[in-house]
Amino acid sequence: MITVIKLHDKYFKPFISAKEIDDVLQRLAIEIAEDVGDEIPVFVGILNGSFMVVSDFIKKYPKPCEVTFIKLASYEGVKSTEDIQRLIGLTQDLTGRTVIILEDIIDTGNTLAEVHRIFKNEKVKSLKIATLFYKPEAYKKDFKLHYVGIEIPNKFIVGYGLDYDGLGRNLPEIYQIKETQHMTNLVLFGPPGAGKGTQADFLKEKYDLVHISTGDVFRYNIKNETALGMLAKSYMDKGELVPDQVTIDMLNAEVEKNTDANGFIFDGFPRTNAQADALDKLMDSKDSQINAMIALEVDDEILVERLLSRGKTSGRTDDADEPIIRNRIAEYYNKTAVLKDFYSAQNKYFGVDGVGSIEDITVRLSTVIDKL
């Protein structure tokens, strides 16, 4: 189980361990010491972020060295700004010295540009740049980076000196921002006539969730002739089942459209173990997960009664014939049995009594969701 942490309004997941950082600093210390040879270098840390890197790095540096700091500030929240403030400049004469900048992270390179401006008029012997982390996709400058610890994707990280609005610097390891923030994702199940639609509408409102009904998603994609819709249709026209991957791709598109959502209610999917697995993978790729499968439980005889009376007014032919109704109910239990096992194994299966007034059932569902 990964431990997600919350700093201010954002969630972060573990990304780089303290051990890995330690190993990288060890490697850099040896590499730099070899290059520096007999010189006594001056390591210059860029505050605030680099205090941990500098502290741990110089303990590993195997030869005599000096250490000093300059203090620059650029970040606002999770965005790097062009406007670098020089808070504390150089306080010592570095003429003729071998200088190695120690950075925690190089992102756009704006801070580094300021460092180069600071050193432009210093008559140092050499100026080299070392950074623990480097985001190549974000880097917009062409100053050479002489020593790079770990290249990382262009995502905001915290820990090991790096902060999000002041918090997170004390963490001994690195955490990366979660793609999607905290979500409640439900798989809603119920036999025909259980009142799933009614309850989904209610849950959607109460918890601000996006209702993804696989049937609706299919109809939407086919009607709008999306690439995935056409692909799905080509299978359906041949009387074949639409491959799971096509369905998953459609669901992925729905999830992508709603990354700000508080979560999703999946309805009509998954129906097989393989689909449940695929859905877990999809949620995982969004840094999220299915929190619960909630099944509305209603006695067969009550379902038959409900559907027959619905059939009298709705005109749905499959709601009018008792053997057909019983068959649909039986099919539901056949299909969901495996899913009940799948989610039970993850302690995520919740059966809810679906008999009673709409409000009563709603209260029962909320009780389950509020505890997730």
User: Which residues are tagged catalytic?
Assistant: 196, 271, 310, 316, 328
Among 21, 25, 110, 279, binds ligand IMP (CB under 6 A): 110
User: Which residue number, 46 or 339, has a Cβ lying nearer to Mg ion?
Assistant: 46
Binding site residues, Mg ion, CB under 5 A? 46, 49
From 55-63, 110-118, 209-217, 266-274, give the range in contact with ligand IMP by CB under 6 A. Answer: 110-118
At closest approach, how far in Å is the CB of 173 from ligand IMP?
14
Contact 203, 240 (CB under 8 A): no
From 25-33, 107-115, 286-294, 318-326, give the range in contact with ligand IMP by CB under 6 A. Answer: 107-115
* Secondary structure E strands in 191-333: 210-213, 264-267, 292-297
User: Which residue number, 158 or 307, has a Cβ lying nearer to ligand IMP?
Assistant: 158
Quick one: tokens of 261?
């959502």
Q: What letter does residue 15 receive in the DSSP assignment? A: E
* Secondary structure E strands in 17-125: 42-47, 66-76, 79-88, 98-106
Q: What is the Cα–Cα distance from 249 to 14, expressed in whole angstroms?
A: 27
At closest approach, how far in Å is the CB of 9 from ligand IMP?
15
Contact 155, 171 (CB under 8 A): no
User: Which residue number, 46 or 84, has a Cβ lying nearer to Mg ion?
Assistant: 46
By CB under 6 A, the residues from 152 to 181 that bind ligand IMP are 156-158, 162
Contact 71, 96 (CB under 8 A): no
Where helices occur in 37-184 by DSSP H, the ranges are 51-60, 110-119
Site string for ligand IMP, 66-85 (x = CB under 6 A): --------xx----x-----
Q: Residue 346: how many CB atoms within 10 A of its CB?
A: 14
Q: Quote the radius of gyration of the chain (alpha carbons, Å).
A: 29
Round to the nearest angstrom and report the end-to-end CA distance of the chain. 15
Site string for ligand IMP, 244-283 (x = CB under 6 A): ----------------------------------------
User: Which residue number, 176 or 213, has a Cβ lying nearer to ligand IMP?
Assistant: 176
Where helices occur in 238-321 by DSSP H, the ranges are 244-257, 273-285, 300-314
At closest approach, how far in Å is the CB of 111 from Mg ion?
6
User: Which residue number, 49 or 192, has a Cβ lying nearer to Mg ion?
Assistant: 49
At closest approach, how far in Å is the CB of 105 from ligand IMP?
5
Residues that bind ligand IMP (CB under 6 A): 46, 49, 74-75, 80, 104-112, 156-158, 162
